[in-house]
Chain A
Amino acid sequence: MGSSAGWALLGSELSVLFRRLRTWAMLIALAAVPILIAVAVKLSSRPATPGRGPLFLDRITQNGLFVAVTALVVCVPLFLPLTVGVVAGDTIAGEANLGTLRYLLLAPAGRIRLLLVKYAGAVAFCFAATATVAASGALAGVVLFPVGPVTLLSGDTISVGESALRSLLIAAYITVSLLGLSAIGLLISTFTDVPVGAMAATIVLSVVSQVLDNLPQLEWLHPWLFSHHWLGFADLLREPVSWTSFGENAVLQAAYIAVCGALAYARFSNKDVLS
């Protein structure tokens, strides 16, 4: 008992998570996205038409720092939710499937702590995944293209140093955006012993949420969808920075964490752990 045991459990959870071949494979796949974009733009003989393709694609050749932002725009709808869904869906169901859940729960009052530790592991992965895309994009951009002052959506220009700060803010925004999805994955994971099922369900939900967000007939539902603010990080690229969507996104994700966390606790504390 005590907090030291909790920290030890978190340490071992993180080391298991980040020593896994699967985790590394996903992070490498994410790192490859900005590199692919940068190389494709570099090798292409035709300049990109402004206004076509993902955000800032046409400006990469002038400024390599845009590679990271373009890659994040590409990754947010599918690749990031995909990898987060795999990690979050695996949290409880994976242990149940391997038969290790019983041993993890031997300590008294261990269930809440185990849930918290598992969720913290998923959160750490959200951050690692976003940071990987941003860092690999920044690196690929610096290597392949010239670097200079960055143009914001408002048409104003900021220095390289400030653009690094804004990139960090964007990474933080996207990490926060994925917290709700992680909580949903954790909840689904407590309902099944088949990790693949929990992963698939989490990923499908992230796609469904984005599809619903695009249907104008369901406008009343949009503010309640966890993916509603996913692309709102563009507000950090305005001058002055608009914090509205950052705040709304944080509140929305916190609500999803509270609801899914409470349901996951209730389900998990009533779960029969036989194997």
Chain B
Amino acid sequence: MRWLVAMTRAQQRWLPALLIPVALVMAVLFGSVQAGAAVSLPSKTADEILAMIARTDVRALSGTVEQSAGLGLPEVPTTGPGIAPGAASALELLTGTHTARIFVDGPSKARLQVLDQLAERDVVINGGNAWFYNSADNSATHLSAPASPASHGHESMPYRSTMPTPEAVARSFLAAIDSSTEVSVGDARSVAGRSAYRLTLNPRSQETLVDSVSIDVDSQTGLPLGIEVRAKDQEEPAYSLAFTELNLSTPDAGLFEFTPPSGASITEEVLPPKPVPALAAPPDAGQLRHSGPAPTGEGWDTVLAFPAGSFPPGFLSNPQLSQALQPVAGGRALTTSLLSVLVLDDGRVYAGMVPIDRLQSAAAAQ
């Protein structure tokens, strides 16, 4: 009898020790179930949601976005001394997970902060001026728009629309909607604490590498809050970009006034602009069409052909880019689960969201 009493006393003492971990696990499970739970919203058709996106009028926001890419790219060395902003860091940003804070105020002011561990990369755009700052090597680059005779003063930076918000990326996909795309509405969900409709684009084509593109649209403002691109034959999303925090009030004006710190190495540059070395977006077919390359094929199967000399000479021999390119017949190729790029030995470049053999046959046809 006495040992029984001793046992129960011992059990009583172990009980709280077991209850607390169990309670914690349950809290975590409950939390994750809630986060993934469907949100009930009045039902809307795909066209109504597309109209909401078109009407959206969010001029100012501050938020945190998280991007994760599972493109199957090889890991490239991250930032370090001597790594120029541009192709290399854009490529680095296409691997793994990155968190960034975005501040936008009107069409001419924006700031992007890529939050690296113990470091930060900043892009500050204010009217005709743009600053790039990299805390890892304390370097700053100042870009200013050339004074244009037509408008008074400086031209505005063309970068505002290239800020890697889910909105910008979503618009590039929405611009390409035509008969080759099936648009459907999925379950509403909660993104960054806001209820959102989910719009899903499915390519009808069997050729493309893209399986589906899902866009989460804020139910109140019509602002795209997140985007997820799935590749064929891959369980995890190949690319996702979504707000984790979002505040629609106007950010502090001081955030857009950038003065380079004393002791920083400063490079002054005047436009012509080069692409923002920011969280890279999938190629925007609509945008690229204007800048020269000839598209072949239709819809999701479009292959962009860049004639020789489209890129600056140093660009394609960049050591980090070279590392990612694999030799193939006739040139070198970058193959990912979503996008293929073929760099021919004669300088022509082909790109598209199709398998590499499609690019090769397109190159052979010309």
Contacts and interface: CB of A to CB of B under 8 A. Distances in A.
A258 B22 CA distance: 11
B133 A50 contact: no
Contacts of A154: 113, 120, 122, 133, 135
B259 A157 contact: yes
Given A155-B258, A234-B118, A238-B113, 19 more contacts: A50-B139, A51-B138, A52-B81, A55-B119, A59-B263, A73-B118, A151-B261, A153-B119, A155-B131, A155-B140, A156-B259, A231-B118, A234-B117, A258-B20, A258-B24, A259-B20, A262-B19, A262-B21, A266-B18
Interface in A227-269: 231, 234-235, 238-240, 242, 244, 255, 258-259, 261-263, 265-267, 269
B252 to A, nearest CB: 7
Contacts of B138: 50-51, 58-59, 151
B314 interface: no
Interface-centre pick from B64, B101, B135, B139 (highest chain A CB count, 10 A): B135
Contact of B120 (A50, A58, A153, A265): A153
The 9 closest A-B pairs by CB, nearest first: A266-B17, A151-B261, A155-B133, A51-B137, A262-B20, A153-B120, A50-B137, A262-B17, A51-B81
Interface in B225-281: 245, 252, 255, 258-265
Given A50-B138, A151-B263, A240 B16 contact: no
A23 B50 CA distance: 66
Interface string A49-77: 11110010011001000000000010000
Interface string B103-141: 000000000010101111010000000010101111110
Nearest to B81: A51
B80 interface: yes
B3 interface: no
Given A153-B120, A153-B135, A266 B13 contact: yes
B129 to A, nearest CB: 14
B24 A259 contact: yes
Interface of A: 49-52, 55, 58-59, 62, 73, 151, 153-157, 231, 234-235, 238-240, 242, 244, 255, 258-259, 261-263, 265-267, 269-270
A48 to B, nearest CB: 11
Given A234-B117, A234-B118, A255-B24, A266 B16 contact: yes
Contacts, number: 97
B113 A265 contact: no
A242 B252 CA distance: 15
Contacts of B113: 154, 238
B124 to A, nearest CB: 8
Interface in B138-159: 138-140
Contacts of A234: 117-119
B10 interface: yes
Contact of B115 (A51, A231, A235, A261): A235
Given A263-B17, A265-B17, A244 B137 contact: no
A261 B20 CA distance: 9
Given A62-B263, A240-B252, A270-B10, A262 B16 contact: yes
B21 A259 contact: yes
Interface in B11-58: 13-21, 24
Nearest to A148: B262
A155 B24 contact: no
A215 B174 CA distance: 38
B20 A50 contact: no
Contact of A157 (B13, B17, B119, B261): B261
A261 B64 CA distance: 35
Contacts of B19: 262
Contacts of B21: 259, 262
A62 B137 contact: no
A258 B21 CA distance: 8
A84 B137 CA distance: 33
A145 B148 CA distance: 46
B13 A155 contact: no
B13 A270 contact: yes
A90 to B, nearest CB: 22
Interface in B173-211: none
B69 to A, nearest CB: 14
A14 B144 CA distance: 60
Contacts of B131: 155
A154 B140 CA distance: 11
Nearest to B19: A262
B263 A155 contact: no
B61 to A, nearest CB: 14
B258 A51 contact: no
A49 B139 CA distance: 12
Nearest to B132: A155
A55 B119 CA distance: 8
Contact of A265 (B13, B118, B140): B13
A64 to B, nearest CB: 13
Contacts of B261: 151, 155-157
B105 to A, nearest CB: 14
Contacts of A50: 81, 136-139, 265
A244 B122 CA distance: 19
B81 A270 contact: no
Nearest to B97: A219
Contacts of A51: 79-81, 136-138
Nearest to A258: B20
A136 B117 CA distance: 25
20 contacts: A50-B139, A50-B265, A51-B80, A51-B81, A51-B138, A151-B262, A153-B119, A154-B113, A156-B261, A234-B118, A242-B101, A244-B64, A255-B24, A258-B24, A259-B24, A261-B20, A262-B17, A262-B20, A267-B17, A270-B13
